[in-house]
Structure formats: structure tokens, C-alpha cells
Structure 1
Amino acid sequence: MDYRQFRAFVAVFEERNITAAAQRLHLSQPALSGSIRLLEEALGTALFVRKARGVEVTDDARALYPQLRRMVAEADDLAQRFRQRGARARLTIGVEEDVARSTVQHLAATARACVPGLQLHLLAQCEGDARLASEELRCEDELFLPLLSERYVLALPDQALPPDHAAGTPQDLATDWIVCPSHASHQRLMPIYGSRADTPAALAGNFSLALDLVAAGVGRAIVPETLAQAIPGVQTQPLGLELKRRIGLCYNAQALGNGALAQLRDGVLGA
């Protein structure tokens, strides 16, 4: 006995007609009749009696129907769940350095809202259909989909300033800078560093490493606010000027061949 025989039995029982049951299952009448015959042989009993118009069900068929109907329904439901999983939209996104966890969470929530049932795959750095990064890291051949904007702040070690210290500009402070000369933002920040940029307290490869140095009391740094908020031992102060960066998805036009990315882009732009 197998699933095909059970489906054939349920269809004939419910339709009371071989022709109608065969059409329902998209089978030929001989194939359907053969499945019923094999099931009857396996059970050792007749299940249907052919009449001029349709069939009549036997008492054994009436007893068998509830159990086989449940088994067929469970098998159909299981197959449907696996088919739906196989058909789920997939999107792979690389997460560049210096993107805060809160920003990654914002991306994930946005993607799920724009693409129901999405299977999101996050990887480190330059991987996948798109990259979650600051606009400064966009390559020349890439498009950019902005997701959020955040300001730069002055990051200081805890207790570096008294609680009642008034906010001012970085130039108002006796600042031992921690700089990131290899970072794409460095040129934008140079006017703020001033003459002290030539003699920094320390150098770091990215903002996250700079914040580790700040927390250790080495000096002060200008960093995106979301990154600084996540580091224990660091406090922030406004810069006294509007300096921001945009975070979003960098991707090639060809990547829009992935329907999930195209759907995410359309959802963000239409919001």
C-alpha cells in the first residue's frame, strides 16, 4: 500500500465516480482503477461496487475512509510545507565593518517587512547580493539604497569630562586624537582634527578599534553614534556641527535579478 493508492481511494469515495475521480487527480481511468485494485488486493476486501452510473461504497470502505482521509491530508500538508520552504525568497547580504548591531537589526526588520517569508543570509564584509555599508564605501559601479542616517559624535572615556561640562566643539578640548587614516571617512574628519591630526595619540584601522582605544583611556575619537553607544566605558558628546553618514545597501544593477533584492528596494523606496 502507498500514498497514491490512498489518494485514489479518497477521490473515488468522495466523487462516487471513477471518471470524476480520475479527472480530479489528473490520472487516466485505467491508472486510477489499477490503484484501487491493488489497494483492495492488499486489504483483502472489496471497497467499491461498480454501477451503471458511478460506484457504491462498501461497509469496509466506509470504515476505512476517515483514517485514509486523515493520512492523505497529513501527507499533503507535509509536502506543501517543504515546497514552500524550497520556494522561499533568499537574499544574501554582506555586513561591512563599523556597522552597529542595531543597524543590522534595522535591516533585518525592514527586509522581512518588505519581503514576506524571506530567508535572509548575513555574511561578514564583502559578500552576497548586496553589502550593508556606509555610502562612503560604495564602489563606482554600485548603486546605493539608503536605509538610515546617523550623526558623528565625539567619543570619550567615561569620567573624561565632569557631568556638568558644557557641550562645545572638539577644538575646545585638549584632545589626544585617535584617528583612522585608512578609513574612507578620514578626509572628511581632518578639518575637525586640526593641527593635532599630525601627532595623534593612536591610530586604528576602523571605528570599532578606535572605540576600544577610547574605552581604554588612550584618547578621543570622532565616530558614528550607533557604534559608540554599544561600547561600555565610552561616553559621547555632540560635535557642535552637523556631520552625518548614510548607511544602506551597496549593490550592482545585475543583482536586481534576485527578486528579493528588487522587492526590498521597491519597498524601501516606496515607504
Structure 2
Amino acid sequence: MDYRQFRAFVAVFEERNITAAAQRLHLSQPALSGSIRLLEEALGTALFVRKARGVEVTDDARALYPQLRRMVAEADGLAQRFRKRDERERLTIGVEEDVARSTVQHLAATARACVPDLQLHLLAQCEGDARLASEELRCEDELFLPLLSERYVLALPAPSLVPGNVTDTAQDAAMDWIVCPTHASHQRLLPLYGSRGDSPAALAGNFSLALDLVAAGVGSAIVPESLAQEVPGVQTQPLEVELKRRIGLCYNVQALGNGALARLRDGVLGTGAKPSF
């Protein structure tokens, strides 16, 4: 006995007609009749009595119907569940370093809003159909889809908050800088360090590591606000000169062959919204 025989039985029982049941299952009449015959042989009983116009069901068929109807429904539901999963649109996005968790959450919420049937796969750093990164990390052959903008702030150890905005005097007199000389943003931030930037208290490979040093009381750093907000033991102050960075998706034009990425792009561009922290 197998699933095809069960489906054939349920269809004939409900239709009371071999021709109608065969059409319902998109089978030939001989194929359907063969399935019923095999099921009857396996059970050792007749299930239907053939008449000139349709069929009559036997008592054994009436007893069997509820069980086989439930089994067919469960099997169909299981198949539909996995087919639906396979039909989801897939999008793989690499998340570069120095992207805050709140930014990743913003991307995920935006993606699900634009592509409700999306299966999103997040990987670390330079992977996938697109990369979530700051605009500074966009390669020459990549397009950039901005998702949000955020400002840079002064991050200080919580017990050593410097009053007021950052000025040249405050920088020269009170700042032990933690700098990220290999970071793509370094040239933009360099003028803000003042004379003490020539002899920093510590060097870091990225903003996240710089914030760990700030929290440890080593010094102060200029970092994106979203990252600083997620590190315990760090307080922030605005900079005197407003400086921002844009976070978004970096991708090659060929990647738009992925329908999910194309729908996400169209959805973001359609809203015209450029939220910021």
C-alpha cells in the first residue's frame, strides 16, 4: 500500500465516479482503476462496486475512509510545507565589521518588509549577494544602496566624561586618543585629533576594538554613535564639527539577477526614506 493508492481511494470515495476521480487526480482511468485494485488486493476486501453510472461504496470502504482521508491530508500538508519553504526567495548578505547590531536589525526588518517571503542568510564580512557596510568600503565596481545615516561621536570612559563639545583646547589638554590608522575613515577623522593625534594612547584595527579600549579607560575615540551605544562603560559627546557616515548595501549590478535583492532595492528606493540614528 502506498500514498498513491490512498489518494485514489479518497478521490473515488468522494466522487463516486471513476472518470471524475481520474480527472481530479490528473490520471488516466486505467491507472486509477489499477491503484484501487492493488489497494483492494492488499486489504483483501472489495471497496467499491462498479455500476453503469459510477460506483457504490462498501461498508469496509466507509470504515476505511476517515483514516485514509486523514493520512492523505497529513501527507499533502507535509509536502506543501516543504514546497513553500523551497519557494521562499533567498538573499545572502555579508555583514562587515563595525556595523552595529541595531543596524543589522534595521536591515533585517527592512528586508522582510520589502520581501515578505524572504529567507535571509547573514554571513560575516565580504560574502553573499551584497554586503552591509559603510559607504567608505564600497568597491569601485559596486553600487551602493543607502539604508541609514549616523553621526560620529566622541566616546569616553564613563567615569571621565569631558564637559562640553570637543574643541581644540579640550583635545590638546585632555585627550589620550585611540586611533584606527588602517581604517577607511582614518583620513576623515585625522583633523579632529589635534596635536595629540601624533602620539596616540593606543591603536586599534577597527572601531569595535577601539571601543573596548575606551571602556577599559585607555583613552578616547571618535566612533560611529550606534557602535558606542552598544558598549557598556562608554559615554558619548557630540563633536563640534558634525561628521556622518552612511550605511547600506554594497553590490555588483549582476547581483540584481537575484530577485530578492532587486525587490529590496526597489522597496528602499520607493520609500525614499533615509532614517538616521
- Give the TM-score normalised by the residue count of structure 2: 0.93
SS at the partner of 1:92?
Answer: strand
Amino acid at match of 2:263: Q
Structure 2 counterpart of 1:90: 90
Question: Which secondary structure does the structure 1 equivalent of 2:184 belong to?
Answer: coil
How far apart, in 1, do the equivalents of 2:77 and 2:5 lie? 17
2: CA distance between counterparts of 1:106 and 1:128?
18
Partners of 1:142 and 1:73 lie apart in 2 by: 49
Aligned partner of 1:212 in structure 2 is 212
RMSD between aligned alpha carbons?
1.2
What is aligned with 1:242?
A: 242
Please identify, of 223-232 and 168-177, the stretch whose mean Cα deviation from structure 2 is larger.
168-177
| Long gaps (5+) in structure 1 | none
SS of the residue corresponding to residue 159 of structure 1 reads helix
Corresponding residue for 1:226?
226
The Cα shift of 1:32 comes to 0.4
* TM-score normalised to structure 1 length: 0.95
1:171 aligns with 2:160: no
| 2:126 matches 1:126 | yes
Q: Do 2:161 and 2:235's aligned partners in 1 also have CA atoms closer than 8 Å?
A: no
Which deviations, in whole Å up to 9, do the C-alpha atoms of 1:204-226 show, x marking residues without a partner? Answer: 11111111111122211100001
Match of 1:71 in 2: 71
**Shift of residue 240 of structure 1?**
2.0
- Could you tell me how far 1:46 is from its partner in structure 2? 1.1
Alignment of 1:9-28 (within 5 A): 9-28=9-28
Give the superposition deviation at 1:84.
1.1
The question of whether the paired residues in 2 share the 8 Å contact of 1:154 and 1:170 is answered with: no
Residue in 2 that maps onto 1:182? 182
SS at match of 1:223: strand
Does residue 51 (structure 1) correspond to residue 48 (structure 2)? The answer is no
**Cα contact 2:228–2:235 (8 A) shared by 1:** yes
- Equivalent residue number for residue 275 of structure 2: none
Q: Measure, in 1, the Cα distance between the counterparts of 2:152 and 2:116.
A: 34
Distance of 1:262 and 1:30 partners within structure 2: 48
Please identify, of 193-202 and 243-252, the stretch whose mean Cα deviation from structure 2 is larger: 193-202
- After superposition, residues 28-43 of structure 1 pair within 5 angstroms as 28-43=28-43
Count of residue correspondences: 268
Q: Which runs of 4+ in 1 moved over 4 A?
A: none
Give me the identity figure in percent. Answer: 88
